Amino acid sequence: MPRHRNLVLAHLWLAFAVFAVAAVFGVWQMWVRSPLHAPYENPQNYFLSVTLHGVSMGYVLTTFFVMGFGYFVAETALRQALPWMEGAWIGFWVAAAGAVMAALTILSGGASVLYTFYPPLTASPFFYIGLVLVVVGSWIWCAIMIAAMARWKRANPGQVVPLAMFATVANAIMWLWTTAGVAVELLFQVIPAAIGWTDTVDVGMSRTLFSWTLHAIVYFWLLPAYIAFYTMAPEAAGGRLYSDTMGRLTFVLFLLYSLPVGLHHLFMDPEHSTGFKFVQTTLTALVTVPTLLTVFTITASFEVAGRLNGGPGLFGWLRRLPWHRPMVLATGLAFVMLWFGGGGGLINMSYGMNAMIHNTSWVTAHFHLIFGGTVVIMYFAIAYQIWPQLTGRAVDAGELAQQRWQLWLWAIGMMVMTLPWHWLGLEGQWRRVAHFDYDDPLIAWWGGWVDLSLLGGVMLLISAWLFIVNLARLHARQPASQAGPQPLHYAVPLHPITRLPAALNGFALWNVLVVVLMAAAYGWPIGQFIAQPSPAAIVHHVDRPG
Amino acid sequence: MSDANKDEPRPADLDQQQLLALREVPSGAIALGGVAVVLLLVAWLLIYLLVYLPRGLVG
Amino acid sequence: MAATEQDVQRSEIRWVVWVSLFVLIIFGLTVFAALVLHRNPPSNLERIDPKTLHLSGEFTEPNRGTRVEQNGQVTTRIVATQFAFVPPCVVVPADREVTLRLASPDVIHGILVSGTNVNTMVVPGYVSQVHTVFRTTGNLLMPCHEFCGLGHSQMLARVRVVPAAEFRPDAEGRVSCAAP
């Protein structure tokens, strides 16, 4: 059992508890949007709910999961104590206090600005300060991850940093770069406006700074799922990781190309010209590469496992995989959802094609499928994989079956919810709407599809609560006759690593490249607001009456 | 990784029979991955030709 | 095939080359659509003061709606505000280039026109401009698609696409929904 199990459990339970509550709000929102009449249905409640759901799922579930899993990896992959335990707990409590502050402000009705909080709509300052505290807590985590790897390298000179930790630190470094955008937006524009020190705000600047964070943050959420793909799934499948070196390259490519692409969220915006929108389209095309690499490497790793188990022919190895193991099943389901979600993403990034779907339900469907589907199902799988280590209790066959049910229900529910949504978005259904007038003949036909989508949401809610139950059961005392959990092993590469360039064992070079890429991609898009100031918009406080 | 964790028990190196079974790797991955990627391209093209282009100019 | 790490890496690189080709095809078709088929994200960078746009200049009341300019260009000007488009209904001709111009005096809004590629954000401080040609006649929906406050769900405009014969500008070149 890792020494710091309580630290890991605190982070993960907070993440999952918030997730379970936010899921209820999500289903209620879908009910409100449908032709069926929902209780407490009004715009104030709806937009409060959308804000709470988005902040919970996008900022709290994710940040705390990444932190908790990171602490777990740092201790188990490096086999050393964390460099600064007190700091880790301080980070947890600061972030938790921030989350509570933001949640209470949202629940009071003073922050219905959605998780994207685009100025000049401005909420109570406590909403933003709460979010800043969550980020500050996570920065402490970043520092500890970087320090842990540095300390291990000093203690093990010339050795290869275990891939799981290399990837975790890549994510930590990427997060530091990522949060810079929103931090500047909040500290210099939004919080002063919220407090009342300024009464106008440069909206083009704030949207651009937020876009810096908005794309890269989804990779912050996604990298733990990829860490599981590379370092846990091949082991669970009974095989080897096809290539450790390409795994490292993948994480490096994410570090480089997650950041200078945020403008693709602003394709439809008037404050940027064609030139930089196009530059960032090109960079976005590059960020597809690490995912396409991963698809190959992990499929090949599973092929190794299947063939070692006697699988013949071009596809026969698929049947010889241990699909009864949750980590293996989740990886398969994740890859199916990745085809749909990634495909949708290709449409979104295709420059002019973005005009077909911007701010329609297609976008909502896309990120629920790729994040809520592909990524979160791996969060579940990771939890199921490491929980026995955290509680000291093995899982029996019946409990494994329940875990598999929960994963299937999640994947099917996600498809049922998001596929109709993609279709409706393509047909012009727009986003962030508290009420559709189904009497209008132009949109009446949407009703049935929205109801179907709602059914998917209900399936997800049941799955979400089943997940909580499955984890809670693992805290119950184990029967004396049952053996303790198997030790956790990270995946081993197919061929032992004999040589590794220093560039794939550290981040100095990559940090320099990040600076170069960001200067090229965002230098002028942000600089223009300083060089050629635009007329500012009047701050619009949503937390004040009238 | 095999050098990194000295106290972690090393898995047995693959024996001759196992290496023989792995002769085909990564043909299965290429096949499955290739099919998936080609289907993705086809899907993108269908949307490009049947939805995007018919919807007219924008700029 | 993957007997050594070198073989492994070679197979990975071969894979990357092939999938890069596929990404390049998508990229190429996208660029073709942009340069040759005139399908681009609206990117006309033009600033306007949100605080005064209702008082003077282009977006004052007489200019809003559809107007045929001296040079024959059809321009439709709309103000997006909490929580209505002004005017809430516009008439445009089919099969003729139309330029939509929008501005906001308050918060961020956005529009799409159903069944078309017309889509743009409306950001206070900027004029949004979209060129298009409407191919099919009929009534189209133009909702506000970006959250702009509690009344966002009700913010909706109509675009009436009429055949050329029915598109009759008055003496000042204006065409409005109220006209007979």
DSSP string over C158-176: EEEEE-GGG----TTSEEB
Q: Does the CB of C143 have a partner CB in chain A at under 8 Å?
A: yes
Q: Is A367 a catalytic residue?
A: yes
Extract the residue ranges of chain A whose pLDDT is less than 50.
none
Q: Does the CB of C123 have a partner CB in chain A at under 8 Å?
A: yes
* Position B7 pLDDT exceeds 60: no
Q: Is residue A490 part of a domain?
A: no
* Inter-chain residue contact C1 with B55, CB threshold 8 Å: no
Touching subunits of C (3+ CB pairs, under 8 Å) are A, B
Q: Does the CB of C32 have a partner CB in chain A at under 8 Å?
A: no
Q: pLDDT (tens digit, 0 to 9) for every residue of chain C, 180 residues total?
A: 788 889 999 999 999 999 999 999 999 999 999 999 999 999 899 999 999 998 888 999 889 999 999 999 999 999 999 999 999 999 999 999 999 999 999 999 999 999 999 999 999 999 999 999 999 999 999 999 999 999 999 999 999 999 999 999 999 999 999 754
Q: Which two tokens stand for residue A462?
A: 């049941």
Closest CA to A355 of B41, C40, C38, C143: C40
- Interval A363-399: pLDDT, tens: 999 999 999 999 999 999 999 999 999 999 899 999 9
CA atoms within 13 A on the CB side of A178: 27
Q: Does the CB of B26 have a partner CB in chain A at under 8 Å?
A: yes
Per-residue pLDDT at B4: 38
* Inter-chain residue contact B24 with C1, CB threshold 8 Å: yes
Residue written as tokens 């509550």? Answer: A21
Give the mutation candidate from C108, C109, C128, C144 for the A interface (greatest A CB count, under 10 A): C108
Q: Does the CB of C151 have a partner CB in chain A at under 8 Å?
A: yes
Q: Which two tokens stand for residue A461?
A: 């809610």
Q: Is A215 a catalytic residue?
A: yes
C-beta separation of A198 from A280 below 8 A:
no
Q: Strands C128-133, C174-175: parallel, antiparallel or unpaired by DSSP? A: unpaired
Q: Does the CB of B37 have a partner CB in chain A at under 8 Å?
A: yes
Q: Which two tokens stand for residue C125?
A: 């401080």
DSSP B22: G
Which one from A5, A151, A307, A431 is the annotated catalytic residue?
A: A431
Its sign, for the CA torsion A222, A226, A231, A237, is: positive
Distance (Å) from the alpha carbon of A359 to chain C's nearest alpha carbon:
6
Chain C residues lying within 8 Å of B1, measured CB to CB: none
Which CATH number does the domain housing residue A266 bear?
1.20.210.10
Chain B residues lying within 8 Å of A347, measured CB to CB: 44, 47
Q: Is residue A151 part of a domain?
A: yes
Please give the backbone phi and psi of residue A516, each rounded to the nearest 5 degrees, phi first.
-60, -50
CA C102, CA C115: separation in Å to the nearest integer?
19
The number of domains in chain A is 1
Closest CA to A241 of A279, A296, A290: A296
Residue written as tokens 């196009």? Answer: A278
Distance (Å) from the alpha carbon of A441 to chain B's nearest alpha carbon:
21
Per-residue pLDDT at A312: 86
Distance (Å) from the alpha carbon of C77 to chain B's nearest alpha carbon:
16
C-beta separation of A285 from C22 below 8 A:
no
Q: Is residue A275 part of a domain?
A: yes
Would you call the peptide bond into A120 cis, given omega within 30 degrees of 0 as the criterion?
Answer: yes
| Residue of chain A with shortest Cα separation from C8 | A243
Q: Does the CB of C27 have a partner CB in chain B at under 8 Å?
A: no
* Position B2 pLDDT exceeds 60: no
Q: Which residues contact A404 (CB under 8 A, 6 or more apart)?
A: A324, A326, A329
C-beta separation of C53 from C64 below 8 A:
no
Q: Which two tokens stand for residue C152?
A: 């966002």
Q: Is residue A491 part of a domain?
A: no
CA A19, CA A32: separation in Å to the nearest integer?
20
The model's confidence at residue B3, banded by pLDDT at 50, 70 and 90, is very low
- Could you tell me which residue, B14 or B56, shows the higher pLDDT? B56
Chain C residues lying within 8 Å of B22, measured CB to CB: 2
Q: Name the residue range of residue A302's domain.
A: 5-476+506-541
Per-residue pLDDT at A482: 73
* Inter-chain residue contact B59 with C42, CB threshold 8 Å: yes
Measure CB to CB from residue A339 to each of B18, B30, B40 and give the nearest one.
Answer: B40
Element housing A343 (H / E)? helix A326-349
Beta bridge partners of C98: C74, C132
- Could you tell me which residue, A397 or B4, shows the higher pLDDT? A397
* Inter-chain residue contact A358 with C139, CB threshold 8 Å: no
- ipTM of predicted complex: 0.95
Measure CB to CB from residue A428 to each of C112, C120, C154 and give the nearest one.
Answer: C112
Q: How far is CA A207 from CA A213, A344, C154, in A?
A: 10, 23, 24
Q: So where are chain B's domains?
A: 26-59
Burial A155-180 (b: 16+ CB within 10 A, else e): ebeebbbbbbbbbbbbbbbbbbbbbb
Q: Is A431 a catalytic residue?
A: yes
- Interval B19-48: pLDDT, tens: 888 889 899 999 999 999 999 999 999 999
Per-residue pLDDT at B6: 41
Q: Is residue A488 part of a domain?
A: no
Q: Is residue A489 part of a domain?
A: no
Per-residue pLDDT at A456: 98
Report how far Cα A387 is from the mean position of its chain's Cα atoms.
Answer: 20
Chain B residues lying within 8 Å of C132, measured CB to CB: 56-59
Which one from A366, A380, A384, A467 is the annotated catalytic residue?
A: A366
Rg of the Cα atoms in chain C: 22
* Position B59 pLDDT exceeds 90: no
| Residue of chain B with shortest Cα separation from C30 | B48
* Inter-chain residue contact B59 with C131, CB threshold 8 Å: yes
pTM: 0.96
